[in-house]
Amino acid sequence: MNIIGRNTFAVVNIEKYLKNLEFLNSCTTAKIMPVLKADAYGHGMQELGKAALKSGYDMFAVAFLEEALELLSSGILSKVLIFNYFDPKDLKSVLDYSDYLRPTITSIDFLEKACGILGKDIKKLVFHINVDTGMNRIGIREEELSTLIRLIKKHNINVEGIYSHFATADEKDEFVKIQYDKFLNILNYIINEGIDIKIRHLANSAGLLFFPQSSLDYVRPGVATFGMQPSNIIKVEELKPVMELKSTVAKINMVKSGESIGYGRTFTTLKSMKTAIVPIGYADGYFRNLSNKAYVLINGKKCRILGNISMDQMVVDITEVNTNVGDEVVLIGEQDGVSITCEELAQKAGTINYEITSKLTRRVPRIYIRGGN
Ligand SMILES: *Cc1c(COP(=O)(O)O)cnc(C)c1O
C-alpha cells in the first residue's frame, strides 16, 4: 500500500546521477570509484549503487563496514572499499566476503590486531593502505612506514591498493600539490621495498576536477556525483543536482498585522499577511537555523520562511502568491525555472552542501525517478 501521507519527499533522479558519473569519467583518465558512504550523502546508496553497477562501475567506496555489508546484501556484488576504522574483531565477517570487501589499513594498531585475530587467514584478505599525507586523521604516518612494511612482509599481507586524501582540493591551494608529491614519494618508497601495489588512488571530486594530474588508477568522487558543487570558488556547470526536496501546502492562514508566528515569536507581521503552512521541519533534517532566512518555491515564486522552523512544520510568506492547499512546495530544486540549490541553503545555514543532503532523515521518503525533471 502506498500512503501519500503528508506529501513530502526527496525526489532522486537516477539518470542525472549516471550523467554526472559520465561527465566525471570524461574529465579523467582514471577509473571512477563512486563513493556511496552515508547512504550516498542521503540520496540512497542501494538504488544509486545498483544503477552505477549496471552502468559498469566496478568498485565502490563507503566509510564503514556496516555500509559495505548493506551494499552487498542489497545485491551490489562488486568490490567495496571501506575507508574508515572498524573493530578488528569484525574482520571475521569480512573474511566471509573477502572476494568483495576491501578493508583499509588505517593504523599500525589495526594491522597488528588483525594479524593477531585472523592468524594465517589474514592472507585471504585484500587490503588497501591509507597513508596520511597531511590530514592528520586516520592513515599510516610517514614515520610508521618502516613498521608497516615489516608487518606486511612478515605476515604476507595482500595489498591491492594504496591511497591518501586531499585536505584542500576545493580551494586554490598549494597544499594539494604538496600532498600529491608526498603521496608519490611514499609510493616509491613502498614499491622500492618490493611491495607490489596494483591500484593507486588519491583524488576526491575536487581533486579530479581541479587537479586532474592527481588522477592515478582510480578517483573517488562523492559530492560531484550527486550534482553538488565540490567548491565554493569554481562552479562546474555540467554537474546536475540529483536530489529535489518537495512538500505541499497544508493550510493557508490570513494573519493580521502585529501578530507573531511560531515558537519564540521571532517574527512579527508589520502588515496583514497570507501564509502557507508546510509539513516539513527540522526533524526531517531541514536546518532549523534557516528560520527567517531561507525560501521555498510555490507557484514559481520564492516564499520566505517566517518565524522559527518547528520540528514538523514551517510557515512561509505567500502574501503575493496565488496558491491553494495541496499545491507543490519545492525546498530544494526547481519550479517554473526558478531554483533553490543545496549550495545556497548551506551558505545560509553556515555549513557545506554535503551536510544539507546527508542530514535529511529517514522520515523523508526517497522517490526514485529516471529522466524528466
Ligand atoms: C568522502 C571521501 C571521498 C569523497 O569526497 P568528495 O569530496 O565527496 O568527492 C573520497 N575519499 C575519501 C577517503 C573520503 O572519505
pLDDT digits (tens, 9 = 90+) for 135-155: 999 999 999 999 999 999 999
* Ligand 1 neighbour 230 (Cβ under 6 A): yes
**Going by DSSP bridges, is the β-strand pair 199-201/301-306 parallel, antiparallel, or unpaired?**
unpaired
For residue 196, CA distances in Å to 9, 165, 214 come to 48, 21, 20
Per-residue pLDDT tens digits for 197-216 = 999 999 999 999 999 999 99
Class of domain 14-226: alpha beta
When pLDDT is cut at 50, 70 and 90, the band that residue 2 belongs to is: confident
When pLDDT is cut at 50, 70 and 90, the band that residue 4 belongs to is: confident
Question: Cα separation of 32 and 21, whole Å?
Answer: 8
29 alpha carbon – ligand 1 mean position (Å): 18
Residue 300 has pLDDT above 60, yes or no: yes
94 alpha carbon – ligand 1 mean position (Å): 22
Residue 137 annotated in ligand binding: yes
Q: Where in the chain is the domain with CATH 2.40.37.10?
A: 243-340
* Ligand 1 neighbour 221 (Cβ under 6 A): yes
DSSP state for residue 336 in the 8-state scheme: T
* Ligand 1 neighbour 282 (Cβ under 6 A): no
Best residue among 81, 183, 201, 204 to mutate for probing ligand 1, ranked by most atoms within 8 Å of CB: 204
Q: Is the pTM of this model over 0.85?
A: yes
Q: Report pLDDT for 268.
A: 98
Q: Report pLDDT for 256.
A: 98
Q: Report pLDDT for 1.
A: 59
Q: Where in the chain is the domain with CATH 3.20.20.10?
A: 14-226
| Percent above pLDDT 70 for the chain | 99
Q: Report pLDDT for 172.
A: 78
Residue 221 has pLDDT above 90, yes or no: yes
Q: What architecture (CATH level 2) is domain 243-340?
A: Beta Barrel (2.40)
Question: Cα separation of 369 and 227, whole Å?
Answer: 15
Question: Cα separation of 175 and 147, whole Å?
Answer: 27
Mean pLDDT, residues 4-13: 96
When pLDDT is cut at 50, 70 and 90, the band that residue 106 belongs to is: very high
Mean pLDDT, residues 359-372: 93
Residue 372 has pLDDT above 70, yes or no: no
Q: Whose CA is nearest to atom 3 of ligand 1?
A: 204
Per-residue pLDDT tens digits for 306-353 = 999 999 999 999 999 999 999 999 999 999 999 999 999 999 999 999
Q: Which residues are catalytic?
A: 37, 263
Q: Which of 241, 172, 162 is nearest to 207 (CA)?
A: 172
Residue 254 has pLDDT above 70, yes or no: yes
Average pLDDT value over all residues in the chain: 97
* Ligand 1 neighbour 225 (Cβ under 6 A): no
Question: Cα separation of 165 and 140, whole Å?
Answer: 12
One-letter amino acid of 248: T
Q: Whose CA is nearest to atom 12 of ligand 1?
A: 165
Question: Cα separation of 290 and 356, whole Å?
Answer: 11
* Ligand 1 neighbour 207 (Cβ under 6 A): no
Local structure of 81: helix, strand or coil: strand
One-letter amino acid of 204: N
When pLDDT is cut at 50, 70 and 90, the band that residue 55 belongs to is: very high
